[in-house]
Structure 1
Amino acid sequence: MEVYYGFNYATSGWMILQSLPLLLSPSIIVTMLSPEVREATPLEIYFARSAGFTALTLGLITVLLTGSIPLATSFSETSSNLEDPTAPYALPTLVITTAYHAFVSFYCYTMWNETGNFGFGISTIVGTALAASGVWCVLFATSDGRISRKTGADKRTSGFPFKNVEADKRKSGKKGL
């Protein structure tokens, strides 16, 4: 579960990091994206700030909906009184944010190939890493698994192609008693 919470915090941090330039200096962002040097129009500043607020909101909502920050309806409730420590929207939010990172990293990769811009390359690397982490969480962190209470090992593993000699010794030793 540490990877799952790490993915949620990394997703939130990356979205908040992307929102800060849009919120703090939209005219600089518009000037950098424009082929000619000119002042940003009020409409461009509005759209840049709206995109910044959207990314900031989605980053914060990701952490809240996935249960990374436990929420209670009142201050008197403790975490022991809650039925489920994870949020009911954890898996759908995980899938949506993973798809988001995959789409954005694909877009940044195509723009990086077209323009060779360093910023698109960094976004491709970070987005791909987050998308891969999200896929890992969807595949492995969402199931309860079959963990043995005695040994702590996963019961779904097999001995193929290697034999587990220590486990065979314990099994044969117990049968002889």
Structure 2
Amino acid sequence: MDVFYAYTYSTAGWLSLQSLALIAVPEMMTTMLEKESRQPTDIETYLSRCLGFGLLTIAILTVMLTGSIPLTASITDPVTTDDSDPKAPYAVPTMQVTTVFHFISAGYAYAWWAEKGQFAFAMGMLVPGALASLGIWCALFASSNGKISRKTGADKRTTGFPFANKEAAKKHGKGL
């Protein structure tokens, strides 16, 4: 499975998991994050469920905008994340925005975990941190079309400066 799609589906899964918890059991947040258990107020319930619906919407949009779900009538066309692909013109920008979101979420949860030391904040820090790392990896390595040489299998965009690959040059009959 392509790393880009793994990132897309794991982002959508994490956001969906958070949203379902906020929608179905809004009192769970006050139980997990406060020292003594109490019933949430009506406004806390309302805001919790609104946030849950918002996260679910972002999860669905992430999957749709990255081209993971083909939005065409034809099933035979392969889904790619090429920049010129009309099925997924927003794939890379969506990945970049969600990566920034995960990075900010992880940083915010870390700040709370450092102050309070609660397990819920640690989980809220680790999962988005891992997703942010995967998103950064995708931005660096999985979002551009590699120019792979058919002869050598090497990326043609690289140079030998400041260190030349003398063994590869000998192998292909090119002197340095």
Higher helix share: 1
Between Structure 1 and Structure 2, whose CA radius of gyration is higher? 1
Question: Normalising by the residue count of structure 1, what TM-score does the alignment of the two structures yield?
Answer: 0.82
Count of equivalent residues: 170
What is the root-mean-square deviation of aligned Cα atoms in Å? 2.6
Distance 1:126 1:164 in 2: 43
Structure 1: segments with no counterpart, 5+ residues: 173-177
Structure 2: segments with no counterpart, 5+ residues: none
Aligned to 2:42: 42
Task: Map 1:1-177; keep pairs closer than 5 Å.
Answer: 2-72=2-72, 75=73, 78-79=76-77, 84=85, 86-158=87-159, 161=163, 163-165=165-167, 167-171=169-173
Distance 2:149 2:28 in 1: 57
Q: Is the 8 A contact 1:65 1:93 kept in 2?
A: yes
Q: What amino acid is aligned across from residue 79 of structure 1 in structure 2?
A: D
> What percent identity do the matched residue pairs reach?
48
Q: What amino acid is aligned across from residue 170 of structure 1 in structure 2?
A: H
Distance 2:166 2:46 in 1: 63
Q: Is the 8 A contact 2:65 2:91 kept in 1?
A: yes
Displacement of 1:35 after TM fit?
A: 4.8
Question: Normalising by the residue count of structure 2, what TM-score does the alignment of the two structures yield?
Answer: 0.82
Greater displacement, 147-156 / 63-72: 147-156
Distance 1:6 1:18 in 2: 18
